[in-house]
Amino acid sequence: MQNENEDSMTDKQLYINFDEYIRQGEPAKREAAYAWSTAIGLQAVDGLKTSDYLNQLAQRNIEGEISIDEVDRLLNSYYESKVRRDTNDDDKEEADKASKNIKRILSSKTFDFSTKGYISVHRRIFEGVLKHAGELRKYDTVKREWVLEGDTVSYLNWEDLHRAIDHDIEQERNYSYKGIGNDELVAHVAKFVSGMWQIHAFGEGNTRATAVFAIQYLRSMGFDVENDLFAKHSWYFRNALVRANYKNAKKGIDYSPVYLERFFRNLLLGEQWDLRNRYLHINPPAEWKEQPNFTTSTGQVQDKHRTSTEQAPNKHDNLFHIDNPDILRLILAINTQELSVTQMMESLALKHRPTFLQNYLNPAIAAGFVRLLYPQTPRHPRQKYLLTTKGQTLYKAIITPENSSNTK
């Protein structure tokens, strides 16, 4: 589960070398830094982080020391020559190569706004990374989401994928932006991007492909989107897409595109909505229900120091500040149960055991949220895992809004 504070110190390390270039650098360096920061930041939507080596190559590329082709060559050589591979090297290799490919795409001035163009974006991002790069999925899919308390968006059935992409692209091509106001513009862009993502055309990498395609499309229409929103708020972007496409009449939840619209209001209009995942949960505590906007009525950015009740510290601030965004996902998966490693992985729809241990279970145990059922015998044949008191407290705080304990 993604931490409500997605700009943790760990994440910020990915961007610190790019910020100065983006804000004050020479035009060529600024453009390259924007492309790299976006490419690297987007890997977070699938829980991936790039290697230090890729970050070093990116910096050298921004400085003009090496070309993107040389980055490609050095990166391939780096992974081919590794004698000893760590447990998360496969994930880092995917993140590194996908980042490099996205940087190449975003540095190109060409763009094909068509179904073939959309499929091509996926192929170009994941060529040499995923087996089915650029291929439409041939099965139906579900994905459990922490913002939906383990429920899933209803994705399109696989038989109609191509036809649905054709339809959305054609509808957008025929839409006229001439003479419309900012509110309608943002709402329409959000609806188009949301619809493309909901199709979920590919087995993996849908959010990254949709984000890159959206960036290219917006630039082709003359919008300046060279900032750090997709880099630093990629998890918010994905969860906003989830909320825009989720409806549950039994729970009284309707489609909620407003969160995605606020992302695009920041991107296109320069507004300052607080883009943190805490506001996207379907059952938030009281203090998470109001998403602050730091833009005043005059269009100026407010002082973000905590001077209002809305921004004041609350009892959940330290409780919910977790550096590893996957800890919360694991807590929701375990909830009140005792689960084996296999059961936890199935609940999270994960297949790679070393990655699960590295990114989910071990950090959760180290942080004191999860414990072993048989702590004295770690390799017990019937070993299970459950929440500690600390983990149970966090779980209850997530699923139970304030003042709801007496409503039943």
What kind of fold does domain 9-288 have according to CATH?
Fic-like fold (1.10.3290)
What is the per-residue pLDDT across 311-320, written as a single tens digit (0 to 9) for each? 333 333 344 4
Between 108 and 22, the more confident residue is 108
Give yes or no for a contact between 282 and 242, defined as CB atoms under 8 angstroms apart: no
CATH 1.10.760 is the classification of domain 326-399:
no
Tokens encoding 357: 């241990």
**CA 58 – CA 60 distance, rounded (Å):** 5
What is the per-residue pLDDT across 35-90, written as a single tens digit (0 to 9) for each? 999 999 999 898 899 999 999 999 999 999 999 999 999 999 999 988 777 777 88
Say whether pTM exceeds 0.75. no
Sign of CA dihedral 16, 105, 244, 158: negative
Give yes or no for a contact between 133 and 123, defined as CB atoms under 8 angstroms apart: yes
Q: For position 2, what pLDDT does the model report?
A: 40
Domain definitions of the chain by residue range: 9-288, 326-399
Q: What type of residue is 405?
A: S
Q: Which of 10-24, 189-203, 316-330, 335-349 has the weakest average pLDDT? A: 10-24
Contacts 24+ apart (CB under 8 A), 337-340: 337/386, 338/373, 338/384, 338/385, 338/386, 339/384, 339/385, 339/386, 340/383, 340/384, 340/385
Three-state secondary structure call for residue 362: helix
Rounded to 10 degrees, the C-alpha dihedral 18/24/27/28 comes to -30
